[in-house]
Structures are given as C-alpha cells and as structure tokens.
Amino acid sequence: MAELRLLAYAKLNLSLRVVGRREDGYHLLQTLMCAVDFFDELSLAEAEGISISTEGLAIPLGENLAWRAAQLLARHTGVHKGVHIRLVKRIPAGAGLGGGSSDAAAVLAGLNRLWNLGLSTGELQELGLKLGADVPFFLGESPAWAEGIGERLSPAQVALPGAFLILVPPFPCPTPEVYQLFDQLRLPSSCPVRPTAGLRFENDLWPAALRLRPQLGELWRVLEGLGGLGVGMSGAGSALFSAFPGPAEARAAAERLSVPGTVFVARPVGRGYKFLG
C-alpha cells in the first residue's frame, strides 16, 4: 500500500495591513507571510474511501480542512481513489498560525503525488482558495506578499530574521471576532502601498485583538523586554513573535521567558510543506 508522509508548516504574518473592504464584507489585505519550521505531521495512505484520524486536537469532521481538501480534490479531478489521512496536530488553533490551511495545502500537494494527478502548483492554489484564503500561500514559495483576501501572491525579496521566538497565549483570538471589533472600532483602512524590501512588524488588527484580549498588551511588553529585533502579532492573533538574528539568541531569550502559554523557537523555511522520505 502506497503511503506518503509530510510536514505542514505554520506561518507568520510579519506585517498585515487592512486596505479596504469588498462589497461582500471581506476585508482587503496586504500582508507579508513567512512559513516557519513548526509543523503538523500528516501521513497519506491509499485506502477505500476518504477518512481521517486526528491526534492532538479534536476537530469536527466537517471543519477539518485536511479531510475537506481530499474530498474537494477527488470531486474536482473525478478520481475514484481513496486515502486515509493521519494528522498529528501541533500548531495551536485560534492563534493566527494557519495550521488548518497548512494541513489542507499539504493534503492537496500530497494527494497530487500519491494519486499521480499531475496538477500544477497554480492549479492546486486555485483549488485551495476554495478552502481558505491562506491555503494558496502554503502551496507556493515563502516568503510572499499576499493581497486581496490573501489570494494574490507575489515573491517577497526581503531579508528575514534568522529565527523567531513565538508565544501562543493560553487563549485564542477567533478571527471573525477580531475583524468584527476592527469594524466596530471604526479603525481606518491603511493606504495601499507597493511592497518594498523593508521589514516592519506592523499589524492593523492589533487594536482589535487587544480590545478582545487585553492580556496581549502585557505579553507584548514582556517580549519587547527580551531585546530582539522587533515584536509582532501573526494574523488576527493570538500568537505573538519576537525576531532574533539566529536560533541561539531566540532560545536564550526563551529560557528567560516566564509567562503563561506555549513558547517555541522556529526558523523561516522556503515553502509551506515538506515531503518526508
């Protein structure tokens, strides 16, 4: 029986600007996205039908993007093949790290190989957009500028820090609630700008996330006190990060950190997934 194993990496939004809103209510963004080597792990084994087992986090079947990705790909291509997906979750949910979207991208890429479909990266990205705005990013190269609702991608020529200390507080920031607060606060949209080589850890959703979770303010100040290259928030939160020149500096800072939540060190990687073996 054929089987593939993959890593599905997390992402950070190193910058995020809200530049407008579509008539359907979706917010228009400009964001610099970077994949990092903190991951979920998947195995894809040929089977009868499409099934999934998940460890580390309980996810209702209809909300499991990995399972939905397999279903979507089978319908789209008309293949009469099955797969059993084993998903080991490590990327926390509700933290702005893109774990569900990354899982979906890894399944699309993995089944494209396992089922010998021959779809291009562009075709997979177009399909992935049906599952979520972040899915196309995880199928392409990192870092990347994402615009629109996240679906318009272009390469980002930026000098990335060598490592990030990432803090996931013991509470989530549900994305819809953060965007609702952004609208309620009547925060102005940023002016669209051309992506540049500069790296600034700005996030227009920060005031809304802080209103939802005031504890984020103290955690931000603690990270600033570690002396890194800058502090930011990924996506709509709740994950915060501090940039460092390399892993050694980030690990040394993590050892000095004493706050509630999960802390890990991760380095940038060049794509949102990786085949093993």
Q: 227-263, pLDDT tens digit by residue? A: 999 999 999 999 999 999 999 999 999 999 999 999 9
Question: Is the pLDDT score of 43 beyond 60?
Answer: yes
> pLDDT tens, 81-104?
999 999 999 999 999 999 999 999
- 24 has a pLDDT exceeding 60: yes
Parts of the chain belonging to CATH 3.30.230.10:
3-155
Residue 35 has pLDDT above 80, yes or no: yes
Q: Which CATH number fits domain 163-266: 3.30.70.890, 3.40.309.10, 3.10.20.30, 1.10.10.10?
A: 3.30.70.890
Query: What CATH number does domain 3-155 carry, 3.50.50.60, 3.30.230.10, 1.10.275.10, 1.10.10.10?
Result: 3.30.230.10
pLDDT band of 195, cuts 50, 70, 90: low
Residues of the chain with CATH 3.30.70.890: 163-266
**Maximal CA-CA distance, the chain:** 56
Query: Does 195 or 183 have the greater pLDDT score?
Result: 183
Active site residues: 11, 134
Give the pLDDT confidence score for residue 197 in this predicted structure: 59
Please give the full DSSP string across the chain, using - where no structure is assigned: --EEEEEEEEEEEEEEEEEEE-TTSPEEEEEEEEEEEEEEEEEEEEESSEEEEEESS---GGG-HHHHHHHHHHHHHT---EEEEEEE--SPTTSSS-HHHHHHHHHHHHHHHHTT----HHHHHHHHTTT-TTHHHHHSBSSEEEEETTTEEEE------SEEEEEE-SS---HHHHHHHHHHTTPPPPPP----S-----BTTHHHHHHH-THHHHHHHHHHTT--SEEEE-TTSS-EEEEESSHHHHHHHHHH---SSEEEEE-B-SBSEEEE-
Local confidence band at 6 (pLDDT 50, 70, 90 cut-offs)? very high
Spatial CA neighbour of 18 closest among 193, 246, 138, 173? 193
The model's pTM: 0.95
pLDDT tens, residue by residue, 168-180? 999 999 999 999 9
